[in-house]
Amino acid sequence: MSDLIVPHGKEERLIPLLLEGDELQAEIEKAKTLKQMKITSRETSDLIMMGIGAFTPLTGFMTKADWQGVCDEFTMADGTFWPIPITVSTDDEDIKEGDEIALVDEETGTTIATMQVTEKYTIDKEHECESIFTTADIEHPGVAKVMAQGTYNLAGPVKVLSESYYPEHFKGLYQRPAESRKIFEDLGWSKVAALQLRNPMHRSHEFLAKIAVEVMDGVYIHQLVGKLKAGDIPADVRLKAIDALVDNYFVEGTVVQGGYPMEMRYAGPREGLLHAVFRQNYGCSHMIIGRDHAGVGDYYGPFDAQKIFDEIPEGALKCQNLNIDWTFFCDKCGGMASMKTCPHGKDDRVLLSGTVVRKTLSEGGELDPRFSRPEVVKILQEYYQNLDDKVEIKLHGAATGDVKK
């Protein structure tokens, strides 16, 4: 009997939808005879998350009742807690309810899954955006993707045929929930805190992880390897940087690294909840929620993603939030500190931000040594020096500290 937290959902077991063996080969052949529908990279990554069991207990794309319930009440039609709609869309008028179709990644041409269409429906896209992102501003990258969706959503169960390029391209990092659970069990862990990353670890990330190491059996540094927005640092560079940090500044056996294929939605508080849902499936009992979790620009308050955990029904989510206050380097303290441990003023503090790190290095500037370890800075400098296409990186309030708590 495992001591790890149970997976999300009423069945309390992982429900992977990825076919294997003869069943997989038969479905691949069948898919060749079906009508093909192209899907976006976000829809592809959601399918793979369902395939590996990370989106347990989902068995397919959501119905209109699910969509409405998730937007308005954080619950699917069967009462299962879920914070963000998982949907697939099309403009194809010929696809009907009852059809079986093949879902093909528009970027790679890979057939990712087959789907039995049980419902075809329209949605109020602005309502989804206001509910999930708290804004319908098209400049928000998550809003832009929702507004670009097709006219119709399709619901129905799926059979996943491929994990695309993730297992090979991110070998040694990419993990299925069953694999991370096995690692934690072998280490004897039961209290596991997940640290969400889409940037290389700077000193604040390191501090968050070390706080968690003090009170947990271990920390799962779990970084996103799905598609990011322009200007974000690719996963292979982040992996090298995190390896350098873990190898030099963490006690052996206190940290495990992993990667997952979901795309960021930049949905702030709602995405914080989604991160906790699938981290529960990966075996994590706690989710570290720091400043501006899953945020973008100034759309969310710096601690909105912490507050939302107190607003959901009690018992809806077994993975608990591990809230940590503003963290920074304090010159007077002579090291990393937080609002709860440092009595000094703003002038003594250096607020650390991945956005500032990326902006400084992308513009060829010298990074303040209080921001990041030298081993990490060297790796990032090499990356930016060899980068042909530069993307302008804008600073926002959450990155500079110019916001109200």
Active site amino acids: 198-199
CB atoms within 10 A of CB 363: 11
CA-CA distance, 148 to 151, in Å (whole number)? 9
Instruction: Determine contact, residues 120/96, Cβ cutoff 8 Å.
Output: yes
CA-CA distance, 225 to 91, in Å (whole number)? 29
- Residue listed under structure tokens 């959601």: 46
Q: Report residue 122: phi and psi, to 5°.
A: -105, 160
CA-CA distance, 262 to 42, in Å (whole number)? 7
Strands (E), 239-357: 255-260, 286-289, 320-323, 327-330, 335-338, 349-351
Of 288, 287, 264, 267, give the one whose Cα is nearest residue 277: 287
Q: Give DSSP secondary structure letters for 166-189.
A: HHHHTTTTB--HHHHHHHHHHHT-
- How many helical (H) and strand (E) elements, i.e. helices and strands, does the chain have? 14, 15
Give Rg (Cα) of the chain: 21
CB atoms within 10 A of CB 234: 10
Strands (E), 319-395: 320-323, 327-330, 335-338, 349-351
Strands (E), 15-67: 35-39, 60-61
Of 220, 265, 350, 317, give the one whose Cα is nearest residue 84: 265
